[in-house]
């Protein structure tokens, strides 16, 4: 009888405590993810010190030395060497990897080029690195974000498993209608993603949501573009309510 009472008490305690363990574990993973972004932000700073105030380019073609994450020895590779699941390059929530490229769950803001704010697909051939001093509001401009994993059926020699550069439309949680991605409507950490900004501060927040076409909200998109002074006049017409 006493043994049955003990078992019953343990079962009750387990029922009470197990729901608590999940959020605690997820919070720990989110904190580790923030630490990863901090270290990558430090690497961007070291890169700028070595290259006269310029950051690596968000993207490039095979063999281009200056794009930020690559299989060669360019970009941040010399500053953050260890790739792989469980490394600084990956959110702890990513437990497995597919595709032929090195694991990475973080994506660079595609508008951080020279010239800046060029839309896809024209940006593909713009490899110019940005001078960090030309970013008008670093504290309000996204540098890195948690990207959206491509579905396994799209992983081949022509695709990165998580794109190395993009905008709000490739942040996990932006829309659940992206047929190319796995669970695209669900952010990395319950309801939020982690973001690194150009001034080095980090923030956990909800991703912007899809409005019309490939657009997000005005407030969300403002944080992606570099030339803030041009944003109101240049892009406000994209929004149905001005």
pLDDT for 194 beyond 80:
yes
Q: How far apart are CA 16 and CA 9, in angstroms?
A: 11
Nearest to 36 by CA among 109, 130, 104, 111: 104
Task: HSE, CB side, 13 Å, CA atoms: give it for residue 101.
Answer: 21
Distance, in Å, from the CA atom of 116 to the CA atom of 135, rounded to the nearest integer, reads 9
What's the average model confidence in pLDDT over 155-174? 80
Confidence at 18, pLDDT banded by 50, 70, 90: very low
Which pTM does this prediction carry? 0.87
pLDDT given for residue 67 in this prediction: 87
Better-scored residue on pLDDT, 229 or 74: 229
* Among 60-69, 97-106, 110-119, 135-144, the least confident range: 60-69
Q: Report pLDDT digits (tens) over 195-230.
A: 999 999 999 999 999 998 889 999 999 999 999 999
Sign of dihedral through CA atoms 228, 234, 239, 242?
positive
The pairing of beta strand 193-197 with beta strand 142-146: antiparallel
Q: What is the 3-state secondary structure (H, E, C) of the chain?
A: CHHHHHHHHHHHHHHHHHHHHHHHHHHHHHHHHHHHHHHHHHHHHHHHHHCCCECCECCCCCCCCCECCCCCCCCCCCCCCCCCCCCCCCCCCCCCCCCCCCCCCEEEECCCCCCCCCCCCHHHHCCCCCEHHHCCCHHHCEEEEEECCECHHHCCCCCCCCCCEECHHHECCCCCCCCCECCCCCCCECCEEEEEECCCCEEEECCCCCCCCCCCCHHHHHCCCCCCCCHHHHHHHHCCCC
Instruction: Give the per-residue pLDDT at 167.
Output: 96
Question: Quick one: pLDDT band at residue 161, thresholds 50, 70, 90?
Answer: confident
* Distance, CA of 84 to CA of 93 (rounded, Å): 13
Give the DSSP H/E element, type plus range, for residue 106. strand 106-109
């Amino acid at each position: 009888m006493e043994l049955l009472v003990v078992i019953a008490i343990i079962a009750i305690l387990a029922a009470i405590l197990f729901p608590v363990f999940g959020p605690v574990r997820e919070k720990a993973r989110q904190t580790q993810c923030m630490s990863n972004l901090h270290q990558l932000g430090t690497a961007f700073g070291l890169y700028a010190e070595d290259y006269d105030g310029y950051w690596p380019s968000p993207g490039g073609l095979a063999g281009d030395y200056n794009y930020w994450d690559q299989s060669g020895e360019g970009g941040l590779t010399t500053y953050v060497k260890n790739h792989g699941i469980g490394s600084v390059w990956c959110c702890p929530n990513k437990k497995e990897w597919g595709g032929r490229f090195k694991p990475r769950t973080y994506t660079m803001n595609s508008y951080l080029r020279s010239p800046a704010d060029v839309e896809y697909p024209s940006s593909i051939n713009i490899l110019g690195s940005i001078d960090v001093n030309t970013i008008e509001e670093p504290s309000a401009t996204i540098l890195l974000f948690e990207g959206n994993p491509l579905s396994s059926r799209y992983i081949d020699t022509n695709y990165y498993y998580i794109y190395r550069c993009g905008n709000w439309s490739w942040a996990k949680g932006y829309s659940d209608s992206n047929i190319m991605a796995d669970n695209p409507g669900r952010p990395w950490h319950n309801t939020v993603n982690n973001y690194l900004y150009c001034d080095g501060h980090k923030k956990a927040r909800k991703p912007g949501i899809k409005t019309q076409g490939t657009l997000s909200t005005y407030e969300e998109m403002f944080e992606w573009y570099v030339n803030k002074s041009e944003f109101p006049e240049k892009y406000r017409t994209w929004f149905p309510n001005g």
